[in-house]
Amino acid sequence: MIIAVFFAEIVQGQEKLNISEYLKLKENKIISPSVKQIEMLKKVLPKQAFQPAPKISDRVFWNKIAATKSGKDYWELANSYISTKPEVPISDSIYRLANKEGNRGIYKPRYYRTMEKLEYFILAECLENKGRFLPQIENFSNAILSMKSWLHPNHDDNKNTVLEGKRMHIDLGARKFGSVLALANCLLENKLSSTLKEDINSNLQRRIIDSYLTSTKGLDRSNSWIKSTSNWNSVCTSGVVLTTITNSKNDEERLLTIGAAINSMEYYLSGFGDDGYCSEGLGYWGYGFGHYLYLAQILYDYTDGNINLFEFNYPEKLKNVGNFPENFEIQNLRCAPFADGVSRVSSKGSNFANVLSAKYFGAIKPTEIRMEEAAEQLIAWQHPKMFETNTNNTSSTLPDHTYFNDFGMVISRGKQKIPFSIAVKAGHNAENHNHSDVGTYVLVLGKDVMSGDIGAPSYTAGAFSEKNPARSSWGHPVPMIDHKLQSNGKEYRGIITKTNFSKDEDDIEMDLKPAYEISNLESLIRTVKNNKLDNGVITIKDTFSAKKNIDFGIAMMTLNEYKIVDENTVVLTSENQKIKAEITSNGGVIKISDELVPVKKLREGAPAYRIGVDFVKPIKNGSITVKYTLIK
């Protein structure tokens, strides 16, 4: 009896994929699994393809879902679309124009509306089973299959080689086209015509499966996101995996895809700090990490828990990542719009990442459920308890401060009646969605962002250029030295050298010199003090020394109304609040000059202003201090 139990434990242990050991067996920088990794995978993967939900013929399951509020709401929305037409294919001329101008408005909405409606038709037919949605499923599917390129035009190269059929590539849209068509093929069985099913199979093979596996073997330069630390990796990988393990009848293709995905996710997760910090910001946390979690869930379900990406090879780090939103909040649902992030915790869009983070990482459970993709909805219908809302409206009191020490980011929270708080970041200039913004900060008074980082430019032509003022250090509240901006690269960084956190005051000191490629600069220290007594006082001081006289200045950035009162005072007025910025200097005379940020479209709104504070003459040593106080 004892021997039998011991043997059972060994067998059970062998069934679980040891991801730490698996990753050690990866060959060089190739994403495709090595021979030894393949042997490990064979022990944990089923022989059959993945069934993401019961097929339409399982009326017990679908009738049960159709009777739920979620099922009824889903069907009702799908039914409202039933008389619409697909909005693709879109003409080559519009594709080329969108590619050239970076104009998302003339292509993206039509592109995404088409795939989203097809999703609704597929699941609604499963719910209803009367054949009413089948003509539209065929119609929309054929429209998508007739597209020359499944890419959003912005993601083709400047010669439109994907449109021209000269190469194949997978982007954020193509992966969704693939997964939606795979779901149609899988769930609807013989409800689809044999011709359409064959067409879906050949397109998924060519556009998704072959393209992905070729790239993972290093045989082309497409799909470089497979080694990315950004949301692209998790989003595209999850779509490819769902498509392949659902639609491919080839055991080897499914194994190679899953094996490559695990190797690829090591890159993606390396983009987070061990403390859970997401340099892409809160919006991309929901998008990118949400797709990572849905990848984790489908692989967990597919392998009966034998592949557990919820732990990967560092469960504590993943727990921290799952709790990032709460830790990143400054106050009153406001957060720092660093990089291409957002300043407000959104109440729209999918909160799938929050739901699964509550389940697996102990994060706060949402009070409502929002989903955007059929793959998410299928998981929710099969795991209903996981998607029960938080009826207790549970929330936790934010701590006095949060220190993400891996990336060097601090949130110092005031606790006044109208809390006055600051988030400040050291970081480096090779972060995802980099803005060359080492030392940037955001001031929040009550619910209003008063001063600091103005956030990202809207995604139009030139938005990602280093010359875009909103993406360079010129458009951030950081020093400019000898008319030079911060340099780009991981070596150009800030280093938090001292911290002191107490009930009444938080002090942070950071070395900003490494962010600048200036030979004459000897030192550059930024200190931040948040005095939390009374109404609060936040002080930011920049102190520098140089080998010879240099020009030196700082900037205050704002999206609010402002008034330059005199040579040392600026008043900033938001919708609900007003603060005074008192500016003093040591080492020379300063002047204040303001100018409009020449970017018409900012994600935080526009216009934005740069209020420059500069020494009138070059000096060797000096400092500029800005003291922010509340005006009642």
CA dihedral angle for residue 334, residue 338, residue 340, residue 345, rounded to 10 degrees:
-10
What CA–CA distance (Å, rounded) separates 278 from 352?
Answer: 17
Strand partners, 359: none
- Cβ atoms of 232 and 291 closer than 8 Å: no
Q: If you search the block for the tokens 């292509």, which residue do you land on? A: 107
Q: Concatenated DSSP letters for 575-622?
A: SS-EEEEEEEEESS-EEEEEEE-S-S-BTT-S--EEEEEEESS-EEEE
Spatial separation of the C-alpha atoms in residues 28 and 50, rounded to whole Å: 30
Q: Which of 200, 296, 169, 289 is CA-nearest to residue 242?
A: 296
Spatial separation of the C-alpha atoms in residues 618 and 246, rounded to whole Å? 66
Contact of 307 with 299, CB cutoff 8 Å: yes
Fill in the DSSP letter of residue 153: G
Q: Mean pLDDT per 10-residue run, the chain (632 residues)?
A: 33 72 93 98 96 98 97 98 97 95 90 97 98 98 98 95 96 97 97 97 98 96 95 98 98 98 98 95 94 98 97 97 96 92 82 96 93 95 92 78 95 96 96 92 97 85 73 94 95 97 97 97 98 97 97 97 96 97 97 93 89 97 98 90
Supply the pLDDT for residue 13.
Answer: 40
- Nearest Cα residue to 489 out of 526, 436, 441: 436
Determine how β-strand 569-573 pairs with β-strand 561-566.
antiparallel
Q: Tokens standing for 302?
A: 């597919």
For the chain, state the CA radius of gyration. 27
| CA distance linking residue 56 with residue 125, whole number of Å | 8
Token couple for 438: 């080492």
Supply the pLDDT for residue 325.
94
Positive or negative torsion for Cα 68, 74, 76, 78: negative
Predicted pLDDT at 395? 63
**Which DSSP helix (H) or strand (E) runs through 194?**
helix 194-204
Of residues 171, 127, 135, 139, the one with CA closest to residue 153 = 171
Residues 503, 488 contacting (CB under 8 angstroms): no
136 Cβ contact list (under 8 Å, min separation 6):
81, 82, 117, 118, 121
pTM metric for this prediction = 0.93
CA 181 → CA 151, 200, 203, 558, distances in Å?
15, 7, 10, 46
CA-angle at 459, arms to 453 and 463, nearest 5°: 70
